[in-house]
A = this chain, B = another copy of it.
């Protein structure tokens, strides 16, 4: 059985990445692609790498007939999904790749995103899309909120440690190195090639990054108390990938053992042998997340490193994984593409 898929916001990088995964997905068929400002264009004009595919012409969202849609991916700028999803027919399942439904508490949403939520009821129903930890809820959900790409990376590294009380919750420092595609295809001077190509630069340091809302929500819920990590993302000149170095206080060997056990049966999470750490290049283009654990020379300190592709496992791959569950497919369907290296 083929599932009819709509992609809303297909002209961004996560939209294009959804098309890439679905192109070889055996049971999904794209029936609508929207891109408000580029409506009327062919996807091949917007993304020449997709020219070989037989795709619908880009339209406005208004022009989509949702009666023939089983599931919609919403890859829209933050703030636009709320009203939109509220107004879709109930028959349409939704995977939202933006930030609109990630935070369960309307006050937290307003704090981080600067405006009140306009679909508070939906916000309550949305399931947080970190598949490996919300799998059962996702299976039955109508609306799944894809995680932030940074939020996914760090949670894969740390959730089992917090769940098992293995680390000092007051001293968690996460230093991330981020591929530039995370900023999307929008025009910003600091995203020009000449600005980024030979530069490494931190941003939103000290507690200003919006993904902290997700960390606070998730880690505090697991721990049963407030957890406030220190978090610094950096722009590095790679197209795709997030490397998260998580400095924690705990027993490195135990940490490794717990992570290895937790993810032993997960098809997309791969824990390296103790003492090895991944690089971003080993997951590019795939839905995989690689995790490594290294002990520090100071006993009781450990480094947990996680690597994933922000556009794949950090966003569009995760979205397809969740959609597979929502549509009754095997979770890995269409997602076993091997990483592209070099």
Complex Cα distance A196/B337, Å?
A: 22
A7 within 8 A of B: no
Complex Cα distance A342/B312, Å?
A: 12
A61 within 8 A of B: no
Which of A43-51, A64-72, A122-130, A154-162 lines the interface with chain B?
A43-51
B194 touches A20 (CB 8 A): no
Nearest CB of B to A77, in Å:
16
Complex Cα distance A295/B230, Å?
A: 11
With A230-B298, A340-B340 known to touch, is A280 a contact of B192 (CB < 8 Å)? no
A24 within 8 A of B: yes
B303 touches A205 (CB 8 A): yes
Which of A85-93, A182-190, A322-330 lines the interface with chain B?
A182-190
A210 within 8 A of B: no
| Copies per assembly | 4
A237 within 8 A of B: yes
Number of interface residues of A (CB under 8 A): 84
Across the interface, name the chain B residue whose C-beta is closest to A202: B277
A197 touches B193 (CB 8 A): yes
A319 within 8 A of B: no
Q: Mark A107-120, 1 if CB is under 8 A from B, else 0.
A: 00000000000000
Across the interface, name the chain B residue whose C-beta is closest to A302: B206
Q: List residues of chain B with CB within 8 A of the CB of A183.
A: 194
Residues on A facing B (Cβ under 8 Å): 13, 16, 19-20, 23-24, 47-53, 171, 173, 175, 177, 180-181, 183, 185, 187-189, 191-202, 205-208, 212, 228, 230, 232, 234, 236-241, 243, 245, 247, 270, 272, 275, 277-286, 288, 290, 294-298, 301, 303, 305, 336-342
Per CB-CB distance, the 7 closest pairs between chain A and chain B, nearest first, are A207-B297, A199-B281, A201-B279, A194-B342, A49-B339, A49-B282, A193-B196
